[in-house]
Structure 1
Amino acid sequence: MNLKRAIAGGALVLAVALIGQFLGTMAGNADGERAKVRLEIVWPSLMSMPQEDRALLVGLAMSCRLERRQAEADEVVDCLRQAASSPDAMLPRGTDRASVPAQLNRLLAHQ
């Protein structure tokens, strides 16, 4: 009887973990899609930009939680500028943190 309970308990824990992972993945995908839509307000050709530029924008968007902002160009730009100035911003590997505000300004000038 104890073996059956242990197996049932283990199966329950596994099921809860899998459901949690599935729900977390779906929520993350939804947040990513909302952030992408907001970035495309400012950069309609986002997906055709060089990978390095997209990676920078995605890192900044994740840092400032762009998906939680209003879907308006001014909100998007404000959010990204805040992240670009933050010492805690998530940036692509090898990015010079001090040059990020200038890189963002360059991207904004070529929208």
Structure 2
Amino acid sequence: MGASKSDFFSEEQNELATLFKAISHPARIAIIQYLLKVNSCICGDIVNELPLAQPTISQHLKELKNAKIIQGTIDGTAICYCLNPETIEMMENYFGGISKELKNKCC
């Protein structure tokens, strides 16, 4: 979406769109699921888990980090990645609100 069009939407709407765009790839969903399972890991661990090359995994990690879905801390010469609880909670609240609104509603 062009910058001029995003001005018509709230900060929250733009932020959520960025988050959902970042998780709209199956490899990124797989990375998130893997991080849920192991809590934290380095890029090489994910490379061993998924059928993708290291540069591809690194690009997906970059997109997830830019959207603040994951965070990384330097661990020697590697970066140790984990999910960002604040961002995950924001997404959970968004979908939880939708779920509450939908209860007892039907078209």
> Which TM-score band (shorter chain)?
0.3 to 0.5
Name the TM-score, length of structure 2 as normaliser. 0.32
**Greater share of helix:** 1
User: Which structure's CA Rg is the greater one?
Assistant: 1
Name the TM-score, length of structure 1 as normaliser. 0.32
**Greater share of strand:** 2
